[in-house]
Homo-oligomer: A and B are copies of this chain.
Amino acid sequence: MGTITLSFEEIKDCLKEILTLYGCPDDKADKVAVEMTRNSLEGVYTHGINRFARLIRNIGEGIVNPDADPVIIGRTGAVANVDGGLGLGITNAWFSMELAIQLAGEYGIGLVALRGTNHWLRAATYGYQACDAGMAAICFTNTIPNMPTWGAADSRIGNNPLVFAFPRKGGHLITDMAMSQFSYGALELARLEGRRMPIDAGFDSDGNLTKDPEAVIRSQRILPTGYWKGAALSFMLDIFAGTLSAGNTVSAVGALPGDEHGVSQVFVAIDYKKLVSEEQAEMIIEGAVSDLLGSKPAGENSRIIYTGQMTEEYRRQNLAAGIPVEEGVWKEILSLRRIRH
């Protein structure tokens, strides 16, 4: 099957209609549809439309409660705890970052720990949320156990995506990195296309580092980003998320039956304007960005970018040409609409 292109509105309206059919209140359906469509618009297809059918399946399984509202269970000074009630991951996370932003507006920094929530889809979403509110942000989530720690054969740590974000007029600076070097999605795609990965992707069943996606999928031993370093950082992010939220760590998430649910997340917003004037901040940031972009390319095909730069490029391209959607993915989504009519 091929790829079709659709407009933002067309996709968003369809997703929203289906979410509503599956019990999402109007405001939540709208938010989830907008953000998932935006993820595809901005080139993060794996966490956009491609994952929509799975979200609907999770609602059907009772893992995601579409009408649960997040509840603030504790708040003191600049820190707060939220229980997500196993509601929609996107709206729970958005609510929590919104609260962190509010706390940062008051105290200069705010931290919100969220427990009992679900997959937030694209981690960068909440970095952009903070940036659009004029705040810097750090946020991270834990996941099911999906990666072995360093020296291990079985998966007991998560790929726990981590975001650092800083607002910038000419395009926000943002990094959104999972703690695995490659996702299973990327490995699957390479396998289908008969490609090897450009760098080590994990271990084969004999314990040797390999670039062969097939061997890694078979062994289930994907590589932490930075080898032992990403394994350590992944574990720390889990300790922070599970403990600060009084929620599940990776191992507790893994003990729950069914698809991943009940994860823990941390949202930190920083009102940098309480520490430095906007003019000075802009000068410092633009100096760093232009110095970076002035790097000498390593080869003819090397391109130097700042982290976050591709978002704007994908957005422009997909707004002009339409958002590419795999025909099979779209067909499955349309079938979700038909089933309930």
Identify the A interface with B (CB < 8 A): 74, 76-81, 106-111, 113, 136, 138, 148-154, 156-157, 162, 164-166, 173-175, 177, 181, 199-200, 203, 207, 209, 221, 225-227, 229-233, 235-240, 242-246, 249-252, 268, 270-272, 274-276, 280-281, 284-285, 287-288, 291-292, 294-299, 302-307
Contact = CB atoms under 8 A, between A and B. Distances in A.
A281 B243 contact: yes
Contacts of A292: 149, 156-157, 235, 251
A209 B203 contact: no
B246 A276 contact: yes
User: Which residue among A152, A225, A237 has the maximum number of chain B CB atoms within 10 Å of its CB?
Assistant: A152
A132 B237 CA distance: 19
B166 A275 contact: no
Contacts of A151: 295, 297-299, 302-305
Q: Is the interface of A mostly helix, strand, loop or mixed?
A: mixed
Query: Which 6 A-B pairs give the minimum distances between C-beta atoms?
Result: A79-B108, A225-B226, A152-B295, A77-B107, A251-B291, A232-B307
Contacts of A306: 235
**Number of identical monomers bound together in the oligomeric complex:** 2
A284 to B, nearest CB: 5
A77 B108 contact: yes
Contacts of A305: 151
A272 B79 CA distance: 9
A239 B288 contact: yes
B110 A152 contact: no
A50 to B, nearest CB: 22
B295 A79 contact: no
B243 A287 contact: no
A152 B109 contact: no
Nearest to A307: B232
Contacts of A175: 229, 232-233, 235-236
User: Which residue among A138, A251, A280 has the maximum number of chain B CB atoms within 10 Å of its CB?
Assistant: A251
A221 B291 CA distance: 17
10 contacts: A77-B107, A149-B295, A151-B302, A154-B296, A177-B232, A199-B200, A225-B225, A225-B230, A244-B275, A250-B288
